[in-house]
Structure 1
Amino acid sequence: MEILKTGLLIRKWKKHEELVTASAIENVVRKLMASEEGDEIRKRAEKLGVVVMESIEKG
Structure 2
Amino acid sequence: MKLIIDVGYQNNKAKVVGGFFEDWNANQLLKLAYKEVDEVQEYIPGEFYKIELPKIVK
TM range (shorter): under 0.3
* Bigger CA radius of gyration: 1
Q: State TM-score, norm by structure 1.
A: 0.20
Q: State TM-score, norm by structure 2.
A: 0.20
> Which of structures 1 and 2 has the larger relative contact order (alpha carbons within 8 angstroms, sep 6+)?
1
Structure with the bigger percentage of helix: 1
